[in-house]
Amino acid sequence: QITLKESGPTRVNPTQTLTLTCTFSGFSLSSTRVGVAWIRQPPGEALEWLALIYWDDDKRYSPSLKSRLTVTKDTSKNQVVLTMTNMDPVDTATYYCAHIMVSFGGVEADDAFDIWGQGTMVTVSS
Amino acid sequence: QSALTQPRSVSGSPGQSVTISCTGTSSDVGYYDYVSWYQQYPGKAPKVMMSNVNKRPSGVPDRFSGSKSGNTASLTISGLQAEDEADYYCCSYVGRYSYVFGTGTKVTVL
């Protein structure tokens, strides 16, 4: 059974750096075609894809936020860490991590975010 | 990349069918068959309802179906039920191992 859980501060000050951790179980991020994504949702607004780290340590970022985001993985701890610099009140949102298995090397997969964490709400305010 | 365009809301009576559209471009929805759909209840995490345009994950009722034509993907709910009232989001692969979500649609069961 795959599970993911986000953790981190519930509140950060403007201009500070946010660090969120996604701790997962039930799969290995060293297995081919596996990835973990970060997705956020401001209150009352739509989902926004932020970043994705793959089994081979390939990292992809939303073009609009690329300069502020860094995603890393610790395979031994089953964790993925997202850092976002220069936080602003507009970054107030629920942040989710999610599992994905992608098509690769001629092997088809669902290419969908099939398991999500419960989400963690982050408020940016002084 | 810009968010995919969805209608803000759709509604239907129990038993009716509703269709949610998701419009992208020839570089995302129109090019790849990696469109997925998510259902989200208030205060809850999204749940995948469809992958690869029309592949229904295990446990998803067969009244949910997906399709694509050109740059527009669609999710149809047939035989609408009260429990289907939720927000729905589409998502598309956009190349370079990256993704984009839609603007979201609120489905109301009248």
Q: What is the pLDDT of residue A107?
A: 81
Distance CA A101, CA A111 (A): 6
Tell me the HSE value of A101 on the side-chain side, using a 13 A CA sphere. Answer: 11
Res. B55: pLDDT tops 90? yes
Q: What pLDDT score was predicted for residue A110?
A: 83
What is the band of A109 on the pLDDT scale with cuts at 50, 70, 90? confident
CB-based contacts of A21, cutoff 8 Å, min separation 6? A6, A7, A8, A79, A80, A81
Q: Identify the residue whose tokens are 């107030």.
A: A92
Q: Please name the amino acid found at residue B72.
A: T
Query: Quick one: pLDDT at residue B42?
Result: 97
Listed in order, strand segments (DSSP E) in B26-97 are 35-40, 47-50, 64-69, 72-77, 86-95
- CA dist A35 and B20 (Å) reads 28
**For residues B58 and B50, is the Cβ–Cβ distance under 8 A?**
no
pLDDT, one tens digit per residue, over B63-102 is 999 999 999 999 999 999 999 999 999 999 998 889 999 9
The predicted structure's pLDDT at residue A10: 97
Chain A residues close to B99, C-beta within 8 Å: 37, 49, 52
Name the token pair of B9.
């809301």
Position A105 pLDDT exceeds 90: no
Return the amino acid letter for A2.
Answer: I
Over residues B27-34, mean pLDDT: 95
Q: Is A104 on the interface with B (CB under 8 A)?
A: no
List chain B residues with CB under 8 Å of A118.
45
pLDDT tens-digit map of A8-41: 999 999 999 999 999 999 999 999 999 999 999 9
Question: Are B48 and A114 in contact (CB < 8 Å)?
Answer: yes
Closest residue in chain A to residue B49, using alpha carbons only: A114
Say if the Cβ atoms of A113 and B46 lie within 8 Å. Answer: yes
**pLDDT of B1 higher than 90:** no
**Please, what is the average pLDDT of chain A?**
96
Interface with A, mutate which of B8, B20, B99, B106 (most A CBs under 10 A): B99
Distance (Å, whole) CA B63 – CA B60: 8
